A and B are shown apart, each in its own frame.
Chain A
Amino acid sequence: MSVLPILDVGLAFLVVGLAAWTVAARNLFASVVGYVAYGLLLALVWIRLYAPDVALTEAAVGGGVTGVLLITAGKRLGALEKDEAGATPALALKIVAGALALFVAGALAWVVVTLPDPAPTLAPAAAAAADGPGAGLGNPITAVLISYRSFDTMLEKVVLILAVIGVWSVGADSAWGAAPAPLGRPQPAGAMVLLAQILAPIGALIGVHIFWVGADAPGGAFQGGALLAAMWMAAMMARLTEPPRIDARWLRLALVAGPAVFLVIGFAGLGLAGDFFAFPPAFAKPLILFIETFMVLSIAVALPLLVAGPPNGRSAR
């Protein structure tokens, strides 16, 4: 397998080159497109680092959903670019910034290359604990996310919810409660509609599949939820469906369902297993899947809402 190193080097150059393009491009939109391509390539890097779970997340969230978000923004701001404002930075500032960036990158590269050998790791502990309270999960990452670092995962869902409220809060007062502006153009192209009609159901199925196998194989709530989110977005872009009103009860409940269920079961752990966020060994796996189901729901709802933006006055009634 002697071609792999060459491919690795090529991939690294491509990724770094696209990053440089993103920074250096003169045109705002070109820079955005460069970044989106970069995000997709990054997924390949993660595969090469033996991180299929991260690769899935990066492809779905970092590449896909972020791509839609940034390209939409880039398109809307493109019209403004003339008075983009702020003088172009002076040469002195460029030199200082360049020197600083070079210094930080150099120091980081040095430190990363000289990381201690053998590397400290929690992999044996995680593997050993898979039989214990981690509880019958073949995918150690899911075990870490839902069991050992449950607190991170639960609070990170709260972060997502705060971001949704933050996005809503920049809207106009008069629009509060209404739906965000439609994602697609008024008359979407036939190809787009066809694509959404074919892709959305299959993609949704795959999303559920990725979530379901996530207990034992690469995949999980994040990745599955992100894929479902992407499919909902595709349907909205083809105008097969419209963004929901932000005061809809079902929407609010779906948003909080993930962290709320996690929280309730976490509390119940005190009675059932003696500690907050502890799972009784006999029910650990079903409980974890139960929590994850609601997490998938919350993620699938939150991501498209973040892309759709604040409520829009035009659709208020």
Chain B
Amino acid sequence: MTPPVLAGLAGAALVGFGLYGLILHPHPLRKLLAFNLIGSGVFLVFGIVARRGAAAGLPFDPVPQAMVITGIVVAFAASALAVALILRLAAVSGKVTLDPEAWAKTPSTRPDGGGGQ
């Protein structure tokens, strides 16, 4: 098996594991980790597309690789935003559940039903 094929299979497995974790884990940080697994699996697919596109003396197609670099930075930014939300949620409420039912028990009392200075 060549590295591209191997990486492709690994990428598919990562997407599968990530999807499973994203659906099942109730904890948002675990969901975030699972999302990142899917993300790296997707980047690996770009990686093998790039490697297979080796031509004209280049050992890779630079376009998909450039996209992966952009993607990694965006994925990090997403993780940072999610972590900030999770930590703030834990700090102000002591719990991190995403279950809407749990929040419905404490309805809003803000005058405008949202927004506040």
Contact = CB atoms under 8 A, between A and B. Distances in A.
Direct contact of A and B (CB under 8 A): yes
Contacts of B45: 108, 112
Interface string A8-23: 1100100110011011
Given A12-B10, A57-B69, A128-B56, 15 more contacts: A32-B29, A32-B33, A35-B33, A54-B47, A62-B75, A70-B79, A87-B26, A105-B15, A115-B8, A124-B55, A126-B63, A127-B57, A143-B62, A149-B66, A167-B81
Contacts of B43: 54
A153 B70 CA distance: 7
A51 B34 contact: no
Nearest to B52: A119
A148 B33 CA distance: 32
Interface in A142-175: 143-145, 148-149, 152-153, 156, 159-160, 163, 166-167, 170-171, 173
Given A45-B44, A85-B102, A80 B96 contact: yes
Interface stretch (A89-97, A184-192, A265-273): A89-97
Nearest to A222: B69
Interface string B68-93: 11101111111111011111101000
B18 A23 contact: yes
Interface residues of A, number: 95
Contacts of A1: none
Contact of A5 (B1, B17, B24, B94): B1
Q: Which 10 A-B pairs have the closest CB atoms?
A: A86-B26, A105-B16, A121-B53, A85-B97, A306-B80, A112-B8, A163-B77, A109-B12, A124-B56, A119-B52
Contacts of B94: 80, 83
Interface in A32-83: 32, 35, 38-39, 42, 45-46, 48-51, 53-54, 57-58, 61-62, 65-66, 69-70, 73-74, 76-77, 80-81, 83
Interface of A: 5, 8-9, 12, 15-16, 19-20, 22-23, 28, 31-32, 35, 38-39, 42, 45-46, 48-51, 53-54, 57-58, 61-62, 65-66, 69-70, 73-74, 76-77, 80-81, 83-89, 93-94, 97-98, 100-102, 104-106, 108-109, 112-113, 115, 119-124, 126-128, 140-141, 143-145, 148-149, 152-153, 156, 159-160, 163, 166-167, 170-171, 173, 222, 299, 303, 306-307, 309-310
A50 to B, nearest CB: 4
B12 A80 contact: no
B84 A170 contact: yes
Contact of A16 (B10, B23, B52): B10
